[in-house]
Amino acid sequence: MSSSCIMLVLTNIKTQLKSFLLEIGELSYFTSRFFKEAFKRPFEIKELLRQCYLMGNRSLLLVGVTGFIIGLVLTLQTRPTLIEFGAVSWMPSMVGISIVREIGPIITALVCAGKIGSGIGAELGSMRVTEQIDAMEVSGTNPFKYLVVTRVLATTLMLPLLVIIGDAIALYGSFLVENLKGNVSFTLFFNQVFNSLEFGDIIPATIKSFFFGFAIGIVGCFKGYYCKKGTAGVGKAANTAVVFTSLLLFIIDFIAVFVTDIFYDL
Amino acid sequence: MKDEQHIVTHFKNMKQQPVVLQIKDLYKSFGNNHVLNGFNMILHKGENLVIMGKSGSGKSVMIKCLVGLMEADKGIITVMGNDITTLNQESLDILRADIGFLFQGSALYDSMTVRENLEFPLRRHTKKFDKDIDTEKLVVEALGNVGLADAIDLMPSELSGGMKRRVALARTLILKPKIILYDEPTSGLDPITAKEIIILMKDIQTKYNTSSLIITHDVDCARVISDRMILLIDGIDYAVGTYKELSASDDPKIKAFFKH
């Protein structure tokens, strides 16, 4: 490879890194603005409730179906191995802990990043390019408060609820397999699930769901609110909102697991 | 000839009216692109002032600086005696209730019905109206003024381009503004609909006694509606005068605007 080629690659990396860091800086500023505006009057309660309803209601079916399939698949895949080790009776405990601690929150968050995050990115992006956000500002409304604060709060509040519902449906899916294949009763299955679960499993998972919801909302809003380059920019905003959020979700998940682990060690 | 005489007399009378909007030495750049290089203008009460310029000449930038949607690099913008560059957000929002803005693409809120689009600014400017205002009556009245009373429960996606522009105009009028800013009011419309919108603008001006600042590159629109015109060239107020005066100019830069 010639030196000019290496220089070209290095310049490209430098440009990419610079734009990535710039974006992180802008996102940090956007987040700080959210906290500043969220506690200022007037509070857009009506719009917040509308967004909560829209986000929760519209994602429920997708979260439910995904959770149900995850529960079925997890049980079907794990069953033969547990049978081999003579530990099939541990199935409800294993499925319960893995769904509540990790699989439920992250799968629900990823589904919502695709459904809600891209929706917010596209909606705000199209409002930006068609000057609806400017029109809102001219009519004396703070568009950041009306559009961004309400949406971010709605995703932050609704995601833990969706995670709980997704977990419950996933566990029900797992129970169906156990019932059909191992003739395990509903009471026995769920008794075992709840006996194996501790607050140390539920609380960190719930707290991390709030952070997941916040990440979905803030990235979706950030990408949409600063959307440029016309209708092509709207598609890009929706797309990058999902990609960026998904990456952020895994980073948050890693930090959450790391922090939880420290508390377990204490 | 009689009409032209009337316009000239009307323009002379206009000069005696108080100034409602003034821009002094406005500068705005985007990187190395210097869009406005010391632009000046004055709008009198009840006047229809048209600003013409080529695409990308900074007309929309200027109008956005006027309502605080964009921050100017340098210059003074005075709206009804208030320098908007020094106003805080609350005072700016109160002032905005007296400035109507008709956006180029209508900018109707997609997720709301026509009724909700019109109610939205009313609910935001409660200080301007009594608590007991009949919003329904005001919405119906505003829609009636633009001939779209039947479209009250439609969604913006169900409206044609001309209808959207009318609804946007009704939304602008509902706050009973003292100044209306029109950003390319006829762009994207067929000639007949464009003519209807121009007539509507004239009717509104007469009925509500508003001052209007119209940004356009539509010569027909300028001819029909303007009391006075400013040609925005190279970021400055290159030429100021009535349509008749400017269209008779020998300056090639000015002549280029009036070639059909």
| Tens-digit pLDDT profile for residues A120-163 | 999 999 999 999 999 999 888 889 999 999 999 999 999 999 99
Nearest CA in chain B to A134: B69
Residue A30 sits in the same domain as residue A86: no
Residue A12 sits in the same domain as residue A90: no
Angle subtended at Cα B140 by Cα B135 and Cα B144, rounded to the nearest 5 degrees: 150
Q: Could you give the 3-state DSSP secondary structure of residue B44?
A: strand
Quick one: pLDDT band at residue B1, thresholds 50, 70, 90? very low
Give which of B249, B239, B214, B226 is closest to B66, Cα–Cα: B214
B64 contacts in chain A (CB < 8 Å): 134
What is the reported pLDDT for B2? 45
Q: Cβ-count burial of A179 within 10 angstroms (0-12 exposed, 13-18 middle, 19+ buried)?
A: middle
What is the reported pLDDT for B188? 82
The whole-angstrom separation of Cα B242 and Cα B227 is: 6
The whole-angstrom separation of Cα B182 and Cα A42 is: 30
Chain B residues whose C-beta sits inside 8 Å of any chain A C-beta:
64, 67, 69, 89, 93-94, 96-97, 99, 101, 103-105, 107-111, 120-121, 124-125, 175
Closest CA–CA distance from residue A166 to any residue of chain B (Å)? 29
Residue A66 sits in the same domain as residue A5: no
Cβ <8 Å between A130 and B105: yes
Strand partners, A147: none
Quick one: pLDDT band at residue B108, thresholds 50, 70, 90? very high
Quick one: pLDDT band at residue B14, thresholds 50, 70, 90? low
> For chain A, how big is the Rg over CA atoms in Å?
22
What is the reported pLDDT for B128? 61
The whole-angstrom separation of Cα A200 and Cα B112 is: 45
What is the rounded average pLDDT for all residues in chain B?
86
Arithmetic mean of pLDDT, A65-91:
93
Q: Per-residue pLDDT tens for A27-40? A: 999 999 999 999 98
Whether the pLDDT of residue A221 is over 50: the answer is yes
Residue A158 sits in the same domain as residue A71: yes
Residue A12 sits in the same domain as residue A120: no
The whole-angstrom separation of Cα A132 and Cα A140 is: 13
Number of neighbours of residue A148 by Cβ within 10 angstroms: 25
Residue A30 sits in the same domain as residue A71: no
Q: Could you give the 3-state DSSP secondary structure of residue A30?
A: helix
Whether the pLDDT of residue B130 is over 80: the answer is no
Arithmetic mean of pLDDT, B192-208:
86
Token readout for B22 is 């003034």
The whole-angstrom separation of Cα A108 and Cα A68 is: 11
Closest CA–CA distance from residue B1 to any residue of chain A (Å)? 40
Peptide bond before residue A42 is cis, with ω within 30 degrees of 0: yes
Residue A121 sits in the same domain as residue A99: yes
What H or E segment, with its residue span, contains residue B161?
Answer: helix B161-173
Residue A21 sits in the same domain as residue A48: no
Contact present, B230 and B240 (Cβ < 8 Å): yes
Closest CA–CA distance from residue A140 to any residue of chain B (Å)? 5
Contact present, A70 and A170 (Cβ < 8 Å): yes
Question: Closest to A134 (Cβ–Cβ): which among B103, B120, B125?
Answer: B103
> For chain B, how big is the Rg over CA atoms in Å?
18
CA separation, residue B191 to residues A74, B37, B161, B163, B165 (Å): 64, 33, 12, 14, 14
The whole-angstrom separation of Cα B123 and Cα B125 is: 6
The whole-angstrom separation of Cα A173 and Cα A165 is: 12
Contact present, B139 and B174 (Cβ < 8 Å): yes
Residue A91 sits in the same domain as residue A121: yes
What is the reported pLDDT for A255? 94
CA separation, residue B77 to residues A112, B24, B40, B65 (Å): 45, 7, 9, 8
What is the rounded average pLDDT for all residues in chain A?
92
Token readout for A184 is 């395990």
The whole-angstrom separation of Cα B99 and Cα B173 is: 10
A137 contacts in chain B (CB < 8 Å): 69
Token readout for A55 is 């986000």
Q: Which domains does chain B possess?
A: 1-98+179-187+211-260 (3.40.50.300)
CA dihedral A166, A172, A173, A176 (to 10 degrees): 180
Q: Per-residue pLDDT tens for B57-96? A: 888 899 999 988 899 999 999 999 889 888 888 888 888 8
Residue A3 sits in the same domain as residue A69: no
B94 contacts in chain A (CB < 8 Å): 140
Residue A33 sits in the same domain as residue A96: no
Residue A151 sits in the same domain as residue A57: yes
Q: Per-residue pLDDT tens for B206-219? A: 888 899 999 988 88
B99 contacts in chain A (CB < 8 Å): 138
Task: Using a CB–CB cutoff of 8 Å, tell me whether A139 touches chain B.
Answer: yes
A239 lies in which domain range?
44-265
Quick one: pLDDT band at residue A261, thresholds 50, 70, 90? confident
The total of structural domains in chain A comes to 2
Arithmetic mean of pLDDT, B234-243:
91
Contact present, B171 and B151 (Cβ < 8 Å): no
